[in-house]
Structure 1
C-alpha cells in the first residue's frame, strides 16, 4: 500500500514508523527543512520537503498513485485543505485527517474530502485502524495485505522487562522489534538499549499474537 503522511510531528512520525514496518511504501511531507534533515535516515520512508496544502507538493509526493493520505498536521485548516485537495483534485481512494480542536469536528466529513476523522487525543492504534480499515484490520493491527501484525506494548514500572537490555528479551518466533519510542521520539531498536518505564515498543510479527508479545515484556 502506498501512503502519504502530511506533517512530521509526533503522530505523523509514529504512524509512518508503524506503516513502514508493515512493509507499506510511506512518504512524509513536511515543510520544515530542519525537521526533514533530522529525519533523514531515521525512518524507513521517503521524505518530501514542502507545504502539503500546495497541489504541486502533493503531486511530487505521489498523490496520483497513492492508496491513502493521512493529514496529521497540528493545524485543522491545513488538514482540511490537504484532505479536500487529495480527494477532490487527485481522487485519493482514502483520506484520514486529524482533528486538533474538538470544536472543528463537524467540518471533518465527506464535504471536505475526509473519509475518517481522528481526534488529537486518540491513540496511535485508533488512527492506524481508521487509516487501514480498507485493508481488513483484524485484532490489534492485522495488515492483511502485508501479511503481518504490528503490535504495540508499553513498558510500565511493573513490567518484567524494566532494566533489561532488548537483547535479553525472548520475543516469540518470527517477531522483531521495529522501534522503541522513548520520550515521544522513535529510536532504532539497538540490542543494548535498556528498557525504561514509559517506553513504547512497536513489534512486527508474522505469527505471534498480541497476548504472546505482551507476555514477553509484561
Structure 2
C-alpha cells in the first residue's frame, strides 16, 4: 500500500517503522528536516519537508495515488485538516487521524465525509489507559487482549514456581484443568521461542501466551501464576494526559495517589479529580517522598511522565522500596525492549499500543482485529471465514487441511454471536464453518501476508 504519514514524532516514527517492515510504500511529512533525515537514514522511506495541511505538500508526497493518509501530528486541528484536504482534494480512500480530544469520537457526524472526512480515530493516550486498566483488573498478567467482542482473550503471563501448571507439560493442561479449556499458542524462554508441542514442559520464568474463553481468564491465570491479590492501592508518577485519564477512570475503584512535579499542573489536577484523591507536588524519583507516602504498601506503581529516563528511574526506585508491582511508560522502543521483565515488571510503549488498531485497517480480507505482540515482532490476528467451500480457503475445511505458513497456528475459534456464541479450542479435525471468527498467532510479521490471503474470498478456490 502507498501510505502518507503526517508527523515524524514518536507516534509517527513508530507507525512508520512498523509499516515499512511490511513492504509498504511510506512517505513521511514533517516540518523538521533534521528529524526526517534521521528517519530516512534508518528506514526505507521518503521524507517530505513542509506543512502537511497545504495541498502542494500533500501533492509532493504523492497524495494523488495514495491509498491511505495517517495524520499523527501533535495538534488535533492539523490532523483534522489534513484528512479533510486528503479526501476532498485528492480523493484518498482511507484517512486516519490521531485525536487527543475526547469530543471527537469515531462515527461522530463531525468526522463524517461531509465533515472532516476522518474514517478512523486513534488516540494513544486512550489506548494506553485501556491497556493499563486490563493490567489492573488482572494483576498477574503481562498483557490481556480481547477478541470477538470480548468473548475470547489472549493472556500473556510469566509462569511462577509453585503454580498448578508449572513443571507440567502442555499436554497435561487439559487433564489438570478440564473446566478451563485453554490453548498455549506460544512460549518464550529467556527471550527465545520454544516449540509448543504436547510434550513441552512449562518452566518457572517462561513467558506463556494462552488463548481462552474470556470467562475463564482468572482460572487460567491462577494455573500459570501464583495468585496476586487485587489492586487496591495505587501510586501514579506523572499527571499528564495519560496520568489524568487513568486517575479519573479509577475514581471510586481503588485508593490513588498522584505525584506531579509542576505546581500549576497540580492545581489543575486537583480541580479535575475527586477531593479524596491525593495530589502530591513533587518528583516521582524522590526517595524521601516515596518513603513518606508509603510506596512499599502499594499494589501497583505506575511511572507515566513524558520522560523515559524519569519513568525508568522512578519505577526501579519504587520496586526497590517495596512496591509489589511496577509499570513504566517508555516511548523509545529500544528502552522498552531492554527494561521489560527486568526490575520493571511491565514496560508499555504508547505508540505500540495503537499499532494494532492501525494494522486492522491495513489487513486484507475480512480481518476484524489485530494485536501487536512481542514489541511488534509478532501478531495475533482475528479474521472471519466468509463464503463457502468453493470460494473460501477456510470454510468447509478441517484445521489440519488449512495451509498455514510455518510457525503460524490457530489458537481459538469463536462460533455464533452474542450470548449464544461458543469459544472452541480447535483440534486437527475441527471443521471451519461460515462466519467463524478464527484467531491466529503469527510469530513473525513476515508471515502476515500469507495468513491474510486465507480470509480473502475468491471466485473459486481449488485444493
| TM-score, normalisation: structure 2 | 0.32
- Matched residue count: 169
Structure 1: which 4+ aligned runs deviate by more than 3 Å?
A: 104-107, 155-162, 193-197, 204-207, 209-214
Matches within 5 A, 1:118-197: 118-123=122-127, 164=190, 169-170=192-193, 183-187=330-334, 196-197=340-341
Kindly tell me: are residues 103 and 46 of structure 1, through their superposed partners in 2, closer, same or farther at Cα, counting changes over 3 Å?
A: same
Structure 1 residue 194 displacement after superposition: 6.0
If asked which structure has higher relative contact order (CA below 8 Å, sep 6+), I would say: 1
Kindly tell me: are residues 183 and 115 of structure 1, through their superposed partners in 2, closer, same or farther at Cα, counting changes over 3 Å?
A: same
Matched, 1:117 2:347: no
Kindly tell me: are residues 47 and 158 of structure 1, through their superposed partners in 2, closer, same or farther at Cα, counting changes over 3 Å?
A: farther
Matched, 1:36 2:210: no
Which residue is 1:7 aligned to? 7
**Cα distance in structure 1, aligned partners of 2:35 and 2:332:** 13
**Cα distance in structure 1, aligned partners of 2:78 and 2:8:** 14
Structure 1: state its 5+ residue gaps: 125-139, 141-154, 173-181, 188-192
**Cα distance in structure 2, aligned partners of 1:156 and 1:10:** 28
Structure 1 residue 73 displacement after superposition: 1.0
Structure 2: state its 5+ residue gaps: 129-145, 147-155, 161-186, 196-328, 342-346, 349-373, 380-404, 410-439, 445-463
| TM-score, normalisation: structure 1 | 0.63
